[in-house]
């Protein structure tokens, strides 16, 4: 029986996943003073998403970093199942010691909930109003099950910090 409690550091990270991740992030960092051209980014996102799903199905994710890279790309998908799979990959990534997956685990859960019309729990998801100002997507505040202590443990800003971003123009 294999011991899954310790990551296997002898397996190299998947280079293709790293390149897909870097391309994803590069698309989201336009030159200073320029806006992101979503009409150009969206087709590249779709291609990266399809490739990550192929790599996942082929069993090509091995390290915590592989799972993190794949999760981040899936988080930029369009379907609830993309976000749910991204969340599950974050859990594996965290289990393999990749602490950068903490915030992403919270964000993928929130994005999944938003995609199915439910309030988010951590407060990571925003939308733009007609004036192109940030608006925090509804947070489950009637029965708060996520405390600021849990937010901090997940490397997520406190709810008041997220609320303070509302009204910023982008």
91 and 130 part of one domain: no
User: Is the domain of 100 the same as that of 19?
Assistant: yes
Given 92, 115, 138, the domain boundary residue is: 115
Count of domains in the chain? Answer: 2
Residues 50 and 91 reside in one and the same domain: yes
Residue 2: its pLDDT value, please? Answer: 44
Q: What is residue 45's predicted lDDT score, i.e. its pLDDT?
A: 97
pLDDT interval class at 132 (50, 70, 90): confident
The whole domain housing 46 covers: 15-115
Query: Is residue 21 in some structural domain?
Result: yes
pLDDT for res 8: 54
Please indicate, yes or no, if residue 52 is contained in any of the structural domains: yes
Percent of the chain residues topping a pLDDT of 90: 75
Question: Would you state the pLDDT for residue 1?
Answer: 43
Are 159 and 92 found together in one domain? no
Average pLDDT over residues 136-158: 88
- d(CA 63, CA 100) in angstroms, rounded, equals 13
pLDDT (tens digit per residue) in 152-166: 999 999 999 999 998
Per-residue pLDDT tens for 70-112? 999 999 999 999 999 999 999 999 999 999 999 999 999 999 9
Indicate whether 76 and 38 sit together in one domain: yes
Are both 39 and 71 inside the same structural domain?
A: yes
Whether pLDDT at 170 is above 80: no
How far from chain centre, in Å, is Cα 152?
A: 17
9: in domain: no
111 and 134 housed in the same domain: no
Q: Is the pTM higher than 0.85?
A: yes
Q: Are residues 21 and 79 in the same domain?
A: yes
Q: Identify which of 71, 33, 42 has the alpha carbon closest to the alpha carbon of residue 55.
A: 71
Quick check: 3 pLDDT over 50?
Answer: no
Q: pLDDT (tens digit, 9 = 90+) per residue, 6-48? A: 455 678 999 999 999 999 999 999 888 888 899 999 999 999 9
């Amino acid at each position: 029986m294999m011991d899954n409690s310790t990551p296997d550091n002898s397996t190299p990270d998947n280079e293709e996943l790293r390149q897909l991740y870097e391309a994803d992030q590069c698309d989201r960092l336009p030159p200073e003073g320029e806006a992101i051209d979503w009409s150009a980014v969206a087709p590249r996102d779709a291609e990266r998403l399809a490739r990550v799903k192929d790599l996942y199905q082929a069993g090509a994710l091995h390290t915590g970093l592989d799972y993190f890279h794949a999760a981040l790309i899936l988080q930029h998908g369009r379907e609830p199942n993309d976000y749910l799979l991204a969340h599950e990959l974050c859990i594996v990534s965290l289990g393999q010691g990749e602490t950068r997956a903490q915030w992403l685990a919270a964000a993928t859960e929130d994005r999944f909930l938003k995609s199915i019309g439910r309030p988010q729990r951590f407060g990571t998801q925003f939308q733009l109003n007609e004036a192109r100002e940030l608006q925090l997507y509804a947070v489950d505040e009637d029965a708060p099950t996520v405390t600021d202590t849990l937010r901090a443990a997940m490397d997520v800003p406190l709810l008041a910090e997220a609320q303070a971003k509302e009204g910023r123009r982008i």
